[in-house]
Structure 1
Amino acid sequence: MCLINFAYKSHDQYDLILAANRDEFFIRPTAKADYWKEVPGLIAGKDLEQGGTWLGVTTEGRFAALTNYREVREKKDEKSRGELVLNFLKSDSSARDFLNRVRDRRADYLGFNLLCGTVDDLFYYSNRQDTIKKIEPGIHSVSNAFLNTSWPKVERGRTLVEKTLQNEKEDIIGELLDGLTNDEKAEEQLLPETGVGIELEKQLSPMFINMETYGTRCSTVITISKSKQVTFCERTYVQGQKTFEDQVFLFRIGK
């Protein structure tokens, strides 16, 4: 993922409301979200190049999602960051214990931000900040810098979640999915400086990205109610266009 926005324990009906976009090269082979035969109870998309995933949930209530940390750095023999999400979802370790082990081998990966845990115990870790943080109730967002770093797309993502919750419409998922297609570019004076150059910073600044070879491949909205009912909706786009197909999964944690 390249943008994750979420409300955690800040709604009277939901413990978690998450709205995220995955940005990737169009050429990279990907499978749409589904149950994984090799990992019973796991729902996630799959990176067919490396075998990992960027976001997933399990029917036992485990959750993980990842964004890349934007930096200009030559890739050497680092491991795929998608294995971090998959390894947590396959394990029975607590989030804190898992992240302590990840921390010990943080140099094995290029920069990342990782959210993992359950709705009762959710944590964040970046190997470029090297601090394990317990997520506090509230509305949070992370793109390709650290958690809640105030980039334009981060602020738009937080605002999208805030307004959706304030409107109290029945179709929360539809409103969030529609909002995630906002392709407005940031004004130049608001752009971050990550070393990629001003023109690329501008192309990467919207919530929904559409470049020639790279862009938003899918959007995902997950809600987990107070009664542990989970709705997982993935909207897959046709190569940077807003033509889409939805996959929806419904289950109750532990059932």
Structure 2
Amino acid sequence: MCIVLVTTAHPKYALIVLDNRDEYILRPTSRPHWWTPNQEPSSSVTNGAHHRTATQEILSSRDLQRPEHGTWLGITKAGHFAVLTNYRETDTHDATHPVSGTRSRGGMVTAWLGADPSESTAEFIERMLQHGDVKGVGGFSLLCGKLRRRKTADGRDTLEPLAILSNRSDSADEVPWLCGQRDEVHGLSNTHFSDPKPWPKVENGVKLVREAIKRAVEDDLDEDRLTDALFGILDSDTLPIDESRSFEAYIPILKESIFIPAIGGQKNRQDMLRALEDRKETELDEAKQELRDEERPDQTAQGFDTGMYGTQRQTVLLVDWDGNVTYKERALWDSHGVAIPRGEGDMSFKFKIEGWT
């Protein structure tokens, strides 16, 4: 039950993004790193339609469970940004909106991150809807766009708007656009953005972000202190814990809490114990090897739906008015299901968006 919070309310930043990835803790996932989806510019075919692709340098973590090795959040040096939340399907008999599809939802994120830099957000949205590329995957909402500073008629700086692509939209006219004006705060979780009854965790998140930005401006917080405050929002835990409750019993109340602590039944706890045993057996071999680098994927023999469920990764993204990006991801669990103390699993990246203005 992931959550994304975005705002244009801070005067020093064109965009601030907060994200919790809630997932089975043992699901194999890489740490963030720079990668390219293809090495040479080429043309590809999407459901019979040809479109040109070009090499993009992408910064993201990657899901290693599905063969697409997609992601839930990423950004490119050219300023393509995307973050995805699943849509919680409740009708298992709705063939047009499957609970899980033949393709990974994470591929929707990389479809935009790997798109030709000359393609506009609107053109991408039209292409994905017109050629049915949003079909064949489980329900999702994709907040995406090209991060660019633009001037209003009266000379004020604003951000080029972001779109929310979903397989709940039948045409581009139904796609919401946001963050094109200053002082916006929005939240998105596992229901449609236009849902008339927002989830409590989203309403609370929007409130907390607005309050945090107000305090940050009043106290003139530097970037490190601002980032700490934003991670504090992502740690907001209001979920009542009952160890006798199964994971399925928790599902209806996950919409209440921004942060999800490790939850699950007896089977989930047994999976975690097996993962710890695997760690004991392999740590001697690992001690003999020097880790390649920070790009080494977390490896685990566990399946995607084993182990406890909870907030696995947290990300804060800051983009200032000069196009400087700060990307910080916090891992809360290692590949064997061992909790990582806050801050010890952090990775940070800084770069400047090419073509920002």
Same fold (TM over 0.5): yes
Following the alignment from structure 1 to structure 2, what is the Cα–Cα distance between the partners of residues 240 and 85? 28
Q: Are 1:202 and 2:250 counterparts?
A: no
Following the alignment from structure 1 to structure 2, what is the Cα–Cα distance between the partners of residues 185 and 27? 21
Q: What's the counterpart of residue 193 of structure 1? A: none
Please state whether the residue corresponding to 1:71 is helix, strand or coil: coil
- Give CA deviations for 1:154-175 in whole Å, capped at 9, x if unaligned: 0121122111210122221111
Q: Following TM superposition, by how much is the alpha carbon of 1:145 offset from its aligned partner in structure 2, in angstroms?
A: 0.9
Following the alignment from structure 1 to structure 2, what is the Cα–Cα distance between the partners of residues 17 and 29? 27
Structure 1 residues 112 and 142: alpha-carbon distance in aligned structure 2, compared to 1, 3 A threshold: same
Please state whether the residue corresponding to 1:24 is helix, strand or coil: strand
Q: What's the counterpart of residue 89 of structure 2? A: 71
- Equivalent residues of 1:160, 1:176 under 8 A apart: no
Q: Are 1:231 and 2:331 counterparts?
A: no
Q: Which runs of 5+ in 2 are unaligned?
A: 39-55, 93-97, 148-159, 241-246, 265-307
- Equivalent residues of 2:144, 2:163 under 8 A apart: yes
| Larger of the two Rg values belongs to structure | 2
> Counterparts in 2 of 1:8-87, with a 5 A limit?
8=8, 10-36=9-35, 38=37, 41-50=57-66, 51-72=69-90, 73=92, 75=99, 77-87=101-111
- Equivalent residues of 2:86, 2:139 under 8 A apart: yes
Q: Following TM superposition, by how much is the alpha carbon of 1:78 offset from its aligned partner in structure 2, in angstroms?
A: 2.8
- Equivalent residues of 1:111, 1:127 under 8 A apart: yes
Identify the match of residue 222 of structure 1 among 314, 317, 322.
317
- Give CA deviations for 1:45-67 in whole Å, capped at 9, x if unaligned: 10011210000001111100100
Following the alignment from structure 2 to structure 1, what is the Cα–Cα distance between the partners of residues 100 and 17? 33
Q: Following TM superposition, by how much is the alpha carbon of 1:77 offset from its aligned partner in structure 2, in angstroms?
A: 4.7
Identify the match of residue 177 of structure 1 among 231, 235, 240.
231
Q: What's the counterpart of residue 144 of structure 1? A: 190
Structure 1 residues 85 and 199: alpha-carbon distance in aligned structure 2, compared to 1, 3 A threshold: closer
Cα RMSD after superposing both structures: 2.3
- Give CA deviations for 1:86-116 in whole Å, capped at 9, x if unaligned: 1111112211111122223133221100111
Q: What's the counterpart of residue 243 of structure 1? A: 341
> Counterparts in 2 of 1:111-126, with a 5 A limit?
111-119=139-147, 120-126=160-166
Following the alignment from structure 1 to structure 2, what is the Cα–Cα distance between the partners of residues 161 and 225? 17
Which TM-score applies when normalising by structure 2?
Answer: 0.64
- Equivalent residues of 1:148, 1:154 under 8 A apart: no
Q: What's the counterpart of residue 192 of structure 1? A: none
Identical aligned pairs, as a percentage? Answer: 33
Q: Following TM superposition, by how much is the alpha carbon of 1:199 offset from its aligned partner in structure 2, in angstroms?
A: 4.1
Following the alignment from structure 1 to structure 2, what is the Cα–Cα distance between the partners of residues 181 and 242? 14
Aligned residues: 245
Please state whether the residue corresponding to 2:193 is helix, strand or coil: coil
Tell me the amino acid that sits aligned with residue 61 of structure 1: G
Q: Are 1:94 and 2:92 counterparts?
A: no
Q: Following TM superposition, by how much is the alpha carbon of 1:198 offset from its aligned partner in structure 2, in angstroms?
A: 6.5
Q: What's the counterpart of residue 7 of structure 1? A: 7
Following the alignment from structure 1 to structure 2, what is the Cα–Cα distance between the partners of residues 76 and 216? 20
Tell me the amino acid that sits aligned with residue 312 of structure 2: R
Identify the match of residue 165 of structure 1 among 199, 204, 213.
213
